[in-house]
Amino acid sequence: MRRHEERHGVLEDRAAVEVARTAAPEFEARVLRRAQELGLREGWQDAILRWHGRVRLLLAGAAVLALVLGFGAAAGVLGDGSRAVNVVWALGGLLGVNLFSLLLWVLATLLSGGGRSARAGVPGGLWLRLPSFFERSPAAADLPLALGGLPGWSRAASWGAGAIGHALWALALLGAAAGVLALLAMRRYGFVWETTILPAGVFAWLVDVLGGLPALLGLPVPDAATVAASGDAPMLEEAGRRAWSGWLLGALLVYGVLPRVVLALVCTLLWRRSSQGLRLDLSRPGYARLRPLLLPDSERIGVRDPEPALMPRPARHAARLAGSGGPALVAVELGGDVTWPPVAGEAGGATDGLAAFDAGRLDSREQRRDALARFGTRPPCRLLVAVDPRRTPDRGNLGVIAELADHAVDTRVWVLGGAGEAAESRLPQWREGLARLGFAPEMLILDETAARGWLEGRRQERMP
């Protein structure tokens, strides 16, 4: 995606950006989500799936070829049985090239810092590009280059190429072992070792050293007498032939197949760890353009959880303290153009004309907390809650009214500043919302006269 947009310009991505902004609030996660959406639209994801399929097909073909070549190498080394087999030369023919390539890989890995800065090299680049030869679409051509441009990909690719190489060598050696076993089962071979300048003790020592590990696996190893007899003439005795056959097959498995299998597993684990650590290079200019789109400074998230079917109703646990406080009035989220208190008076004291305590406007969380703390200490016998009918009742202001009613003996809601078309249109919503709180229809007061009459119903009540 990045390579395409750097070369051909930015794609139309409005819908993809909207989808990406629903992902986790991390820039890289949203970049990847956007790329996934555009990849589906542009057909790149299908090209990647086809590329993966071709890679698997090529690996399967290479595995079969490795087995066949290994079997052929065994047939070439042992021959048709018409001549004696030089055991040392046969072992060298089966393991020599393998050990040389293994030594080169170890040196390359050590010189590159143990894989910390390793590059995939020719084999890794070939494995990346080879599947694209079977499809000439632009998407397929860009895949190897896009993978190679990822930070840290060279290290991951080096371990991946190593895992593939070791696995193929293990299969080739398994094919050779299978070929050796099959030929030994179907043909009669005589074994011999030959030398012109080396003493016989060297071969006895070599056979003993190389046969140590196979012997632990239960494979037969020629003894000193068998080794000595094989130097004079081909070993034709059945016990001697079995000992040499077991030694040759065991050395091939222990010193050829086993190291390659272990290294293939190790490289696979390192490749997976390196692949999981791959990250996008978010410092590129193309990603800088996407940052304000995918991760804006502010974002309207709306209501994420559904509104409950039942609002919390006032428990009115303060009813047992009836008479402990006088009447009070309070305003919840009034508009700025609405005068408060409704008659001249000082906030925090009795109003002129309404014999009630004015708890003020509750517009902030701190103001609500202070009012609830005061009412919790001395709950009013009558509480008049003034609201602005031009505002839509929601869970926020209805919840505040429920909390206030919970701290009073009796509560009414006063629609203050109710003139205008907006106020009239929202009155049914206020009635419905208050009904969900358990307020009867008569508990909604629409005019100042009714509000004053309800508050003055008990003038003898003490003020808080």
The mean per-residue pLDDT over the stretch 118-135 comes to 54
Query: Residue 117 — very low, low, confident or very high, per pLDDT cuts 50/70/90?
Result: very low
Check whether 67 has a pLDDT greater than 90. yes
Please tell me the least confidently modeled range out of 139-148, 166-175, 288-297, 328-337: 139-148
Q: What percent of the chain has pLDDT over 90?
A: 13
Q: Which residues does 155 contact at the CB level (< 8 Å), separation at least 6?
A: 115, 116, 117, 118, 274
Tokens 């896009």 correspond to: 146
pLDDT tens-digit readout, 220-268: 877 777 777 666 656 667 777 788 888 888 899 999 999 999 999 999 9
Check whether 3 has a pLDDT greater than 80. no
Check whether 359 has a pLDDT greater than 80. yes
Work out whether the CA dihedral 245, 246, 251, 254 comes out positive or negative. Answer: positive
Judge residue 388's burial from the number of C-beta atoms within 10 Å of its C-beta, 0-12 exposed, 13-18 middle, 19 or more buried. buried
| Lateral strand order in the sheet of 444-445 | 357-362, 328-332, 382-387, 410-415, 444-445
Pairing state between β 85-86 and 328-332: unpaired
pTM of the model: 0.58
Beta partners for 86? 192
Return the closest-CA partner of residue 355 out of 453, 457, 456. Answer: 456
Query: Residue 351 — very low, low, confident or very high, per pLDDT cuts 50/70/90?
Result: very low
More confidently predicted of 348 and 326: 326
Check whether 89 has a pLDDT greater than 70. yes
d(CA 359, CA 325): 13
pLDDT at 360: 84
Please tell me the least confidently modeled range out of 56-60, 187-191, 298-302, 455-459: 298-302
* DSSP H/E element including 386: strand 382-387
Query: Residue 374 — very low, low, confident or very high, per pLDDT cuts 50/70/90?
Result: confident
The pLDDT mean for the chain works out to 77
Q: Identify the top-confidence range among 91-95, 174-178, 410-414, 433-437.
A: 174-178
pLDDT at 139: 61
Alpha-helical (H) ranges within 295-420 are: 365-377, 395-406
d(CA 158, CA 118): 6
Residues in the chain: 464
pLDDT at 458: 46
Beta partners for 351? 345
pLDDT at 305: 52
Q: Would you say 340 and 453 are in contact if contact means Cβ atoms under 8 Å apart?
A: no
pLDDT at 354: 58
Q: What is the DSSP string of 95-128?
A: HHHHHHHHHHHHHHHHHTTTTTS---HHHHHHHH
* DSSP H/E element including 360: strand 357-362
The mean per-residue pLDDT over the stretch 171-197 comes to 85
Work out whether the CA dihedral 351, 376, 363, 418 comes out positive or negative. Answer: negative
Q: What is the DSSP string of 252-288?
A: HIIIIIHHHHHHHHHHHHHHHHHHHT----TTSHHHH
Q: Would you say 333 and 388 are in contact if contact means Cβ atoms under 8 Å apart?
A: yes
d(CA 144, CA 136): 13
pLDDT at 72: 92
- The beta-carbon contacts of 312-317 under 8 Å, at least 24 apart in sequence, are 312/399, 312/402, 312/437, 313/402, 313/437, 313/438, 314/402, 314/403, 314/405, 314/406, 314/411, 314/437, 314/438, 315/406, 316/405, 316/406, 316/408, 316/409, 317/406
Pairing state between β 382-387 and 328-332: parallel
Q: Identify the top-confidence range among 194-203, 285-294, 307-316.
A: 285-294
pLDDT at 349: 42
pLDDT at 316: 53
Bond from prior residue into 341 cis (ω within 30 degrees of 0): yes
pLDDT at 103: 93
Query: Residue 308 — very low, low, confident or very high, per pLDDT cuts 50/70/90?
Result: low
The mean per-residue pLDDT over the stretch 134-145 comes to 62
Check whether 168 has a pLDDT greater than 90. yes
More confidently predicted of 121 and 269: 269
Q: Would you say 149 and 157 are in contact if contact means Cβ atoms under 8 Å apart?
A: no
Q: Would you say 353 and 453 are in contact if contact means Cβ atoms under 8 Å apart?
A: no
Check whether 393 has a pLDDT greater than 50. yes
CA 119 to the chain's CA centroid:
26
pLDDT at 306: 54
Q: Would you say 133 and 50 are in contact if contact means Cβ atoms under 8 Å apart?
A: no
Return the closest-CA partner of residue 331 out of 310, 307, 350, 358. Answer: 358
Instruction: For residue 406, give both structure tokens.
Output: 């919970």
Taking each helix axis as running N to C, give the angle between helix 421-436 and helix 395-406, from 0 to 180 degrees, rounded to the nearest 10: 60
Query: Residue 382 — very low, low, confident or very high, per pLDDT cuts 50/70/90?
Result: confident
Check whether 152 has a pLDDT greater than 80. no
Please tell me the least confidently modeled range out of 123-137, 266-280, 288-302, 386-400: 123-137
Judge residue 406's burial from the number of C-beta atoms within 10 Å of its C-beta, 0-12 exposed, 13-18 middle, 19 or more buried. buried
